[in-house]
């Protein structure tokens, strides 16, 4: 099981070596001697000497025990006096997971944030295992209509998350929102956060010597992460809300005309209007909600189709109409079928 270390390739990362050791000690039938660890666990086979291996192994054992991994020592028996090591599986195993339907629903809701390719497979496997414990149907009822509306983080998320966790400098091409100009930015990333339906990274822009916020969807191409870990220090307090405030936008109010008993999520967010409200068409209720991201609310309202009409503001109404018109245009593609308004496409009215 010799790895890249022994072959002269890059050394195994410490966290990878620790994980390899845990896997080996969990799955050993009795116990593993030091010699078996050195020859059979990837990451130790590249130790240049026995003394170096001994230091590495002792340090890793101490680290795992400090993390709560119960490594036990097994005295040699029979013809062998050599000490072995294993993990006490009974002490290491988690107790049975017993979630109420509401708790399972909240976990399911959180998992939907990762519906893009970044962590989709891991989330799907985890939810399948939790659902096998029961209460899956009731969990769906507990959070019906509350699916988080958050765009996929995209390919930039993984490298930037690595850069934040290991404090590595990140370099990428970024398209400015106001000019559309693309420039290379060199950033010390501090935090990644989601606001208003989009992902952002907050950090120190080395070129401008100031704190800056970058929207992940405006990163052009791949993110390059520097080779040096610990290249910068993240401030003890990073005010993400303050940094993102100007980018997400100030809070505004929208007045919506909603069909009775429809759009329960919007109704749950309704607030009392501060002043006069526009009159709704007959047979509809006026629902007033606050929002920061015009794009996110337009996506949400468009999802309700004709059940929700925008009364104010006009720019929100225009954004929703644009989305519905684009969706209706799909039916006009060659080979599409369905009802039309006589002009080759379905009729769409909003507001």
- Residue ranges of the domains in the chain? 14-92, 101-142, 157-248, 252-332
The string of pLDDT tens digits covering residues 176-229 is 876 778 999 999 999 988 776 678 899 999 998 988 989 888 899 999 999 998
Triad 266, 271, 276: Cα angle to 5°: 115
Q: Distances from the Cα of 211 to the Cαs of 186, 240, 243, in angstroms?
A: 12, 11, 8
Residues in CB range of 142: below 8 A, 6 or more apart: 101, 102, 104, 105, 106
**Is the per-residue pLDDT at 142 higher than 50?**
no
d(CA 23, CA 65): 15
Neighbours of 322 (CB within 10 A): 13
d(CA 235, CA 222): 26
pLDDT given at position 80 = 56
d(CA 191, CA 170): 13
212 or 342, which is more confident? 212
Contact 326, 350 (CB under 8 A): no
Q: Which CATH architecture has domain 157-248?
A: Roll (2.30)
Q: Give the up-direction half-sphere exposure of residue 133: CA atoms within 13 A in the CB hemisphere.
A: 14
265 by DSSP, 3-state: which?
A: helix
* Number of helices (H), then strands (E), in the chain: 12, 11
pLDDT given at position 191 = 92
Q: Which helix (H) or strand (E) holds 285?
A: strand 285-291
The string of pLDDT tens digits covering residues 61-107 is 999 988 888 999 888 665 556 788 999 888 887 777 676 766 766 67
pLDDT given at position 338 = 43
Compute the residue count for the chain: 351
Strand partners, 187: 170, 205
d(CA 143, CA 90): 35
**Is the per-residue pLDDT at 310 higher than 60?**
yes
**Is the per-residue pLDDT at 25 higher than 50?**
yes
Neighbours of 139 (CB within 10 A): 24
pTM for the predicted model, two decimal places: 0.43
303: confidence class by pLDDT, cuts 50, 70, 90: confident
Inter-helix orientation angle 294-302/314-329, to 10°: 50
> Token pair for residue 160?
């930037």
Q: Report the percent of the chain where pLDDT is more than 90.
A: 21
Which CATH code is given to the segment(s) 14-92? 1.10.10
């Amino acid at each position: 099981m010799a790895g890249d270390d022994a072959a002269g390739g890059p050394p195994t990362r410490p966290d990878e070596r620790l994980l390899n050791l845990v896997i080996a000690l969990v799955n050993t039938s009795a116990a593993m001697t030091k010699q078996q660890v050195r020859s059979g666990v990837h990451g130790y086979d590249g130790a240049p000497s026995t003394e170096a291996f001994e230091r590495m192994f002792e340090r890793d054992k101490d680290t795992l025990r400090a993390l709560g991994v119960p490594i036990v020592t097994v005295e040699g028996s029979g013809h062998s006096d050599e000490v072995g090591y294993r993990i006490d599986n009974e002490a290491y195993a988690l107790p049975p997971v017993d979630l109420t339907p509401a708790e399972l629903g909240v976990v399911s809701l959180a998992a939907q944030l990762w519906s893009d390719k970044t962590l989709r497979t891991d989330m799907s496997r985890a939810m399948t295992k939790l659902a096998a414990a029961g209460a899956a149907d009731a969990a769906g009822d507990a959070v019906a209509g509350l699916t988080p509306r958050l765009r996929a983080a995209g390919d930039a998320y993984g490298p930037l998350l690595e850069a934040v966790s290991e404090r590595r400098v990140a370099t990428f091409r970024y398209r400015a929102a106001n000019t559309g100009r693309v420039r290379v930015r060199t950033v010390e990333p501090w935090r990644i956060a989601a606001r208003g339906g989009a992902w952002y990274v907050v950090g120190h822009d080395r070129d401008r010597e100031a704190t800056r916020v970058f929207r992940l969807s405006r990163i052009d191409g791949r993110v390059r992460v520097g080779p040096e870990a610990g290249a910068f220090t993240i401030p003890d307090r990073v005010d993400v809300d303050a940094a993102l405030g100007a980018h997400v936008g100030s809070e505004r109010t929208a007045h919506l005309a909603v069909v009775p008993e429809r759009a329960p999520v919007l109704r749950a967010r309704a607030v009392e209007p501060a002043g006069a409200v526009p009159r709704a068409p007959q047979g509809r209720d006026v629902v007033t909600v606050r929002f920061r991201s015009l794009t996110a609310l337009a996506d949400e309202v468009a999802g309700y189709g004709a059940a929700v009409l925008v009364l104010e503001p006009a720019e929100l109404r225009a954004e929703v109409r644009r989305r519905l018109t684009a969706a209706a245009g799909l039916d006009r593609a060659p080979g599409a079928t369905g009802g039309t308004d006589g002009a080759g496409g379905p009729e769409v009215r909003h507001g």
